Amino acid sequence: MIKQLIKRFYRLLIALTRSHYFDYYKYYEKNSNNVIWIMGFNIRYLFTTSILWDLATISALIKSDKTYKIVFNNRICNVTDKNIYFTLHSNYNLFGFDNYVLVFDYLLKGIAENNNNLFPSLEQARFWENKAYMHKKLDEKCIPMPKTIIVTKKYFDSNKIDFSFPFIIKLVHSYESKGIFKINNLLDLEAFLHNIKNANEEFLIQEILNMRRDVRVIVIDKKIQLFYWRINNSNEWRPTATSKGNSVDFLTFPEIHRKTIVDYATKLDLSICAFDIAWQNDDLTTTPLVLEVSPVFSPNPKISNIYFLENYGDFKKRISLFGYDYLYVLEIFRLKQLHLLKIIRNEK
């Protein structure tokens, strides 16, 4: 716990130094057209990734010689005719919905109707931690993905799924490797269903690809700005998150699929997003399949150290002056500023 607090505090210090302290004051203007909306501002917020993205937004505005103001919590409901920038996270669930993603339809729609420009837009926000919506949109846009169905516990009372064991179950609001379950047999399925209290709660059933790697591809304004493979070096299936002991490769991009992946983002109308993409049998000559796509993501900064490429999880855990946390903040600022450049230039 203490180690994590040190790392988080160091990230905050690095982020604050991306702009001169005097500029934070100089460019703050009460009547600015640019609003940074922060929900759930408290001590905990100061140690989250959200504050890094918010500071990156402020830094981009300052670098573009634009003013800004900050609005906290539901005071945003009184804001009209502004450009509103915010970072998606669960603290925006100020109404305490069981399904916290629903707050965006309930709250963001009203804010947009006040003649505000939202960044991200409501349509983009709906992709965040909402795998049911995401897969419906992938299907609607005919974007290839592993065989996936959206079901409820109640569904199993009268239907048999057309899936062979093993398969994966994903909770609608799962992220990273959390909320993802490998179902090997009927006993696993019954145990999972037993823990679902709401018979109408949606979750996803997805086929398991024969794969030992996937590639995270970050697309900003129709350009690939960062990619890296997450490689499972074991013989058993497991999530490819680096926290699971997987290695990383930043060098070998599948160039034959570059345009295809960018086209996926264009079809979904996502100006900034991260795709997790894999191939059946790890065969790069076949169609790239989208496992996940989200407008919110954590980028792994590029490194060249061979040991840490093989043990990227260890690299993340180390406390080092110019190590993972330092590079992570710099990468967030780089990507955020790339994304905001056109937006800020077109500011009303």
pLDDT above 80: residue 209: yes
Residue pair 323/298 in contact by the 8 Å Cβ criterion: no
Residue 140 lies in a domain: no
Quick one: tokens of 129? Answer: 């931690």
Q: Return d(Cα 133, Cα 139) in angstroms, integer.
A: 10
pLDDT band, residue 96 (cuts 50/70/90): low
By the 10 Å C-beta count (0-12 exposed, 13-18 middle, 19+ buried), 179 is classed as: middle
Task: Identify the residue with better confidence: 95 or 337.
Answer: 337
Which residue(s) pair with 119 in the sheet? Answer: 85
CA distance 42 to 173: 24
Query: For the chain, what percent of residues have pLDDT higher than 70?
Result: 92
The pTM of the full predicted model, rounded to 2 decimals, is 0.92
Q: Is the dihedral of CA 173, 50, 33, 341 positive or negative?
A: negative
Residues 23 and 74 in one domain: yes
- The phi, psi pair for 28, rounded to 5°, reads -80, 125
Residue 343 included in any domain: no
Q: Are residues 223 and 329 in the same domain?
A: yes
DSSP sequence for 172-186:
EEEETTEEEEEE-SH
246 in a domain, yes or no? yes
Provide the 10 A C-beta neighbour count for residue 284. Answer: 13
Residue 47 lies in a domain: yes
Are residues 228 and 297 both part of a single domain? yes
CATH code of 314's domain: 3.30.470.20
Question: Are 233 and 193 in a shared domain?
Answer: no
Average pLDDT over residues 140-169: 86
Range in 162-166, 220-224, 230-234 the model is least confident about: 162-166
Same domain, 115 and 29: yes
Tell me which residue has tokens 């699929």.
Answer: 257
**How high is the pLDDT of residue 158?**
57
Residue 177 confidence (pLDDT) above 80: no
Q: How far apart are CA 201 and CA 173, in angstroms?
A: 11
One domain, residues 109 and 168? no
Domain assignment present for residue 347? The answer is: no
- Let me know whether 59 and 105 are in one domain: yes
Q: Are residues 116 and 231 in the same domain?
A: no
Question: Has residue 188 been placed in a domain?
Answer: yes
- Specify whether 153 is located in the same domain as 122: no
List CB contacts of 333: < 8 A, sequence separation 6 or more. Answer: 15, 18, 52, 56, 59
Tell me the backbone φ, ψ of residue 66, rounded to 5 degrees. Answer: -115, 145
pLDDT for residue 92: 62
Check pLDDT > 70 for residue 159: no
Q: Which domain holds residue 51?
A: 2-129
Displacement of CA 296 from its chain's centroid (Å)? 3
CATH of the domain at 60: 3.40.50
- The pLDDT, as a whole number, for residue 1 is 79
Spatial distance between the Cα atoms of 187 and 192, rounded to a whole number of angstroms:
9
Residue 36 has pLDDT above 60, yes or no: yes
Residues 11 and 45 reside in one and the same domain: yes
Whether residue 108 contacts residue 116, with contact meaning beta carbons closer than 8 Å, is answered with no
Mean pLDDT of the chain: 90
Residue 10: burial class (beta carbons within 10 Å; 0-12, 13-18, 19+)? middle
Q: Which domain-ending residue is among 99, 129, 159?
A: 129
* pLDDT score for 347: 59
Number of domains in the chain: 3
Q: Do the domain assignments include residue 134?
A: no
Q: Judge whether 108 lies within some domain.
A: yes
Residues 270 and 172 in one domain: no
Q: What's the CATH code of the domain at 180?
A: 3.30.1490
Strands across the sheet containing 213-220: 247-249, 223-231, 213-220, 272-278, 289-294
Given this model, what pLDDT does residue 99 score?
62
For residues 35 and 76, state if they share a domain: yes
- Over residues 338-348, the pLDDT tens digits come to 999 878 776 55
Residue where one domain finishes, among candidates 129, 164, 185: 129
**What is the model's pLDDT at position 42?**
84
* pLDDT band (50, 70, 90) for residue 247: very high
